[in-house]
Amino acid sequence: MEWWKDALIYQIYPRSFQDSNGDGIGDLPGIIQRLDHLQELGVGAIWLSPVYRSPNADNGYDISDYREINPEYGTMEDMEELIAQAGRRGIRVLMDLVINHTSTDHYWFRSSRDRTSPYADYYCWSHGAPGGRLPNNWTGFFGGDCWEFDPERCEYYLHLFARSQADLNYRCPAVLEEVKDVLRFWLAKGVAGFRCDVINLLWKESLEDGRRRPVLTGLEHYLSREGTHDILRQLRQVLDEYGAFTVGEAVFVTPAMARDLCGRDRRELDLVFSFQHMECDQILVKWLKRRFRPKAFFDCLVRWQQELDWNALYLENHDQPRSIPRFGSERYWKESGKLLATLLLTLRGTPFLYQGQEIGMVNFDFTRLRQLNDVESKNVDKILRRFHVPQKLRWRILSRTSRDNARTPFQWDGGPQGGFTGGRPWLGVNHNCAAINLADQEKDPDSIWSWYKDLAALRRDRAALRHGSFVPLEAGAQVFAYRRELEGERMTVVLNFSGKPASVSHRGALVRSNYPREGFDGQLGPWEAVILEEET
Ligand code: ISL
Ligand code: CA
């Protein structure tokens, strides 16, 4: 059963969702306390960013034990309770599966340092090139080279991400068997599936030098290689034993590459998170931003809508700055927040909502580099310093792109620490929590939260909005319009991505507008979103 085609999926960043014991860190009991919120929103599944044991170099994306819960987040009993309590509310639980790398604290890695151990080949070890040079010229996702020398083994190990995230070696057959066991362990507990971290990087075709590129030299040796497809087909067999669902995060994929990962006949993943629409406002790398041009964004969305049968739709996650300041307008905070909600919930695919998006949370209001926590931001800062980039400019770059923008604690109410914790939060709560919080928005039928709730219900109600075909109508410098069509049910969505009014030729009976209006005459206010229905 493809339940995920009808569901709205909600991403939780556990560390920042709800703290239950005053230590300033969100936890599993905190999530349980807030399940009613998710049920009210109409969420069909939650995806938890990693909650496994981890030294937290990359907030859980560096796992040191796949079968244990990070004590900061609670116990295995709490996890089982969460699965049960969510289940009672009709909410499935998805875990984050990080299998490209483990933490260097994992006992596999620690054992791997000994060449005679059964774990010796679990990681990508290499002697290095003659003359004391690194094994190759590859560069990593967080900037800089991606090799680290281990004095105990007297070899280098590969890490495409942080130094303490060592890449697993899938040429060693035991690694895949270990991963299969991990899948079974969680599926037996009642987990409904996984979001698979950087899943198209698993197979390293060779460790030869890469073509020099401004970023990620070496990419051609490990991006979506055939070996990765093989691994995914093998994992699929385990998943099928439980009817489990997977969405894979696939970096740098084109629609054709995504089809190879999630085409129905391929028996690999169910869905793919792609990045092209998130790259419309960047130059080469995510740290160099350019002005957001809606037209490029619309064209990209149209291409993906047309080239894939079913998309994983998202505008935010824990790696991206918040969507309102990025694609919308803080001046028209409410209007543009609702417009982006409309886009997310009316395209063809499965919408993924990131915590805080439903109340229009915006980027952090930090003022100093030392308020940042993210390992990526810190690495980039180090590199910029090395190039003598002045502090002001470093701050300008990092404050706009830092992943911490999306990681500040959830703003439940206008009280101290936004209702997130009774203690000192691990990452600062935005001072705007008096103005942007759930408690206020729940009372307000005109709030962004109420709009999300209403649209989620409309989507459940109208088959055309879920399963209808996608027909682009207009993708200009300012207006994006498309139709969703299913067996005579025709719904038109018109979105004005601008602070200036617009006039369009699309007509129909008004189903929804984020402005108070009775009918639709083709005139759109700033950041207005309307849903129309063809009159029969
Ligand atoms: O942040 C990014 C996109 O703007 C990427 O460089 C990101 O690192 C990449 O998408 C991979 O992300 C995933 O794996 C990382 C982890 O840090 C991210 O949080 C996770 O989503 C390593 O596990
Ligand atoms: Ca806690």
- Is the pTM of the predicted complex or chain greater than 0.85? yes
Instruction: Give the number of the atom of ligand 1 that is nearest the alpha carbon of residue 375.
Output: 17
pLDDT tens digits for range 246-273: 999 999 999 999 999 999 999 999 999 9
Residue among 19, 155, 167, 249 flagged as catalytic: 249
Residue 1 clears pLDDT 80, i.e. is over it: no
Give the integer Cα–Cα distance in Å for 497 and 291: 14
Q: Which ligand is nearest to the CA of 71?
A: 2
249 given a catalytic annotation: yes
Give the integer Cα–Cα distance in Å for 403 and 375: 9
pLDDT tens digits for range 397-440: 999 999 999 999 999 999 999 999 999 999 999 999 999 999 99
Give the integer Cα–Cα distance in Å for 474 and 152: 61
Q: 196 near 236, Cβ under 8 Å?
A: no
pLDDT at 390: 95
Q: 427 near 375, Cβ under 8 Å?
A: no
pLDDT at 41: 98
**CB-ligand 1 contact for 319 (6 Å cutoff):** yes
160 CA from centroid of ligand 1 (Å): 10
Average pLDDT score, the chain: 97
Residue 484 clears pLDDT 90, i.e. is over it: yes
User: Three-class SS of residue 285?
Assistant: strand
pLDDT tens digits for range 267-312: 999 999 999 999 999 987 888 888 999 999 999 999 999 999 999 9
Q: Which ligand is nearest to the CA of 50?
A: 1
Q: Among 136-140, 279-283, 482-486, 514-518, where is mean pLDDT lowest?
A: 279-283
487 given a catalytic annotation: no
Mean pLDDT within 436-459: 98
Q: pLDDT band at residue 536, thresholds of 50, 70 and 90?
A: low
Mean pLDDT within 337-349: 98
Looking at the chain, the whole-number percentage of residues with pLDDT higher than 90 is: 96
Q: Among 17-26, 279-288, 417-426, 527-536, where is mean pLDDT lowest?
A: 279-288
pLDDT at 316: 98
Q: 247 near 312, Cβ under 8 Å?
A: yes
The conformation of residue 77, written as its DSSP 8-state character, comes to: H
Q: Which ligand is nearest to the CA of 164?
A: 1
Q: How far is CA 285 from CA 141, 279, 473, in A?
A: 10, 8, 31
**Residues 141/143/144/146 CA torsion (nearest 10 deg):** -20
**CB-ligand 1 contact for 57 (6 Å cutoff):** no
**CB-ligand 1 contact for 166 (6 Å cutoff):** no
Give the distance, in angstroms, between the CA of residue 124 and the centroid of all CA atoms in the same chain: 27
Query: Which residues lie across from 292 on neighbouring strands?
Result: none
Mean pLDDT within 462-479: 98
Mean pLDDT within 95-124: 98
**CB-ligand 1 contact for 406 (6 Å cutoff):** no
**CB-ligand 1 contact for 201 (6 Å cutoff):** no
DSSP H stretches of helix in 26-112:
28-33, 35-41, 76-88, 107-112
Residue 186 clears pLDDT 70, i.e. is over it: yes
Residue whose entry in the numeric block shows the structure tokens 């170099």: 57
448 CA from centroid of ligand 2 (Å): 28
Residue 321 clears pLDDT 90, i.e. is over it: yes
* Cα Rg, the chain, nearest whole Å: 23
Work out the angle at residue 9's Cα, subtended by the Cα atoms of residues 5 and 13, and round it to the nearest 5 degrees: 155
58 CA from centroid of ligand 1 (Å): 9
Which of 315, 278, 308 lies closest to 296 in space, CA to CA?
A: 278
Give the integer Cα–Cα distance in Å for 200 and 193: 18
